């Protein structure tokens, strides 16, 4: 019986099920006090806006506090990835940054400022991450296509073939987004319950 349960827990957080049923799996994991599975499912819930999800009956089995903690997790993740986009694009992981010398100001191979089409790129990136707070959202073909449209507004950048450079940059940005999300701690209430029971 134990091996069946172990198999079920592994299957629960494996694609494609976790990609389609993240909220439902999060609730099931909470109900069963499966910390690892709850954290994996919470991470997958970031791939869709929390309030735009379809209702799942399993939500009736968690508290408003549980849902609040999941919403708080979403907001904290979004806040951290917004900081990357607003301030972190000048970090070392971002080099080299696609664009001309007008759009990317460098001194000693360090980015000092991004301007031109990068301003619009940053705002569109934040909007995309608000809908899907995951690295994958900055690597899709439609997203990259839009970014190339912004770049074409600059005479110098518009004459370059930026697709490969922008794809490589987006891949690095996606890795950084996932790294930062992994630093956000999800508060699971049953952790606090276990501490209380140990005290009494």
Domain positions in the chain are: 2-62, 82-181
The pLDDT-based confidence of 132 (bands split at 50, 70, 90) is: very high
Query: Which residues touch 111 (CB under 8 Å, ≥6 apart)?
Result: 89, 90, 94, 95, 97, 104, 105
Mean pLDDT across the stretch 162-169? 89
The rounded distance, in Å, linking the Cα atoms of 147 and 55 is 34
pLDDT reported for residue 195: 42
Q: From the CB of residue 158, how many other CB atoms can be counted at a distance below 10 Å?
A: 15
Q: Which of 20-24, 102-106, 117-121, 159-163 has the lowest mean pLDDT?
A: 102-106
Residue with more model confidence, 170 or 116: 170
């Amino acid at each position: 019986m134990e091996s069946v349960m172990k198999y079920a827990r592994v299957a629960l957080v494996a694609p494609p099920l976790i990609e389609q049923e993240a909220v439902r799996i999060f609730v099931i994991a909470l109900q069963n006090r499966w910390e690892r599975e709850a954290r994996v499912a919470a991470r997958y819930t970031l791939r869709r806006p929390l309030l735009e999800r379809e209702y799942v009956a399993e939500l009736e089995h968690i508290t408003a506090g549980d849902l609040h903690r999941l919403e708080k997790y979403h907001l904290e993740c979004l806040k951290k990835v917004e900081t990357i986009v607003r301030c972190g694009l000048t970090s070392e992981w971002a080099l080299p940054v696609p664009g001309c010398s007008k759009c990317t100001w460098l001194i000693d191979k360090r980015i000092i400022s991004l301007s031109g089409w990068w301003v619009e790129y940053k705002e569109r990136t934040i909007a995309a991450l608000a809908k899907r707070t995951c690295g994958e959202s900055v690597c899709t073909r439609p997203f990259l296509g839009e970014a190339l449209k912004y770049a074409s507004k600059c005479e110098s950048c518009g004459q370059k073939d930026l697709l490969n450079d922008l794809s490589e940059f987006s891949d690095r940005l996606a890795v950084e987004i996932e790294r930062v999300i992994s630093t956000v701690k999800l508060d699971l209430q049953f952790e606090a319950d276990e501490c209380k029971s140990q005290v009494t």
